[in-house]
Amino acid sequence: MTTEPRPLFVYVTLCAPEFLATILGEPSDKIPRMLQAATVKGYERRSKYFGSGFALQPAAIESEDPEATIEGYLLTLETRSQRRKLDNFEAEGEAHKSVSVQVHISATGQTVTADMYLWNGPMGEISPEPWDLDAFIRDGLEDFLAVFEGMEFDGVEEQ
């Protein structure tokens, strides 16, 4: 049995190195070494309704267009504990499932199999509008980081 977790394609809030470092409990200068620019086909990144209003919350859904592409990063995790922290973060009150996808690494042209978190909740909660990482970093990252400041995500395997 391998001790290394499968790579993970990240495409939304986890693309912000400062936020990824917060969730993993790692120094932010370590995060860029764990990421490679990449894309997946057949999926769309959308905004998600939150409560009665609209928020900068993201979700990935399967696309009707097989050529639709999501840009993000292939995240190479070092430990299973790091993966469990991400799984716990994604499971917090959300309806996501982990699926296997083919990821195209931008720098090398190589295609690898990785996991990706896919929306598995009610489609009525998904906006027709795409989710924009640049807008999130510009308009929402600071507030998002403040929400999670001081929180620790458990990476301990359940017995």
Q: By the 8 A CB rule, do 46 and 128 touch?
A: yes
| CATH value at residue 121 | 3.10.490.10
* Domain presence at residue 153: no
> Tokens in use for 3?
């001790």
* Domain presence at residue 158: no
How high is the pLDDT of residue 19?
85
How high is the pLDDT of residue 7?
95
* Domain presence at residue 155: no
Nearest to 48 by CA among 141, 124, 138: 124
* Domain presence at residue 16: yes
Question: Which domain, by its residues, includes 77?
Answer: 8-148
* Domain presence at residue 70: yes
Please give the chain's pLDDT, 159 residues, in tens: 556 789 999 987 788 888 899 889 899 899 999 999 999 999 999 888 765 454 557 889 999 999 999 999 999 999 999 999 898 887 755 677 889 999 999 999 999 999 999 998 888 888 888 887 788 778 877 877 777 676 666 655 543
Domain count across the chain: 1
* Domain presence at residue 144: yes
pTM, entire model: 0.82
* Domain presence at residue 130: yes
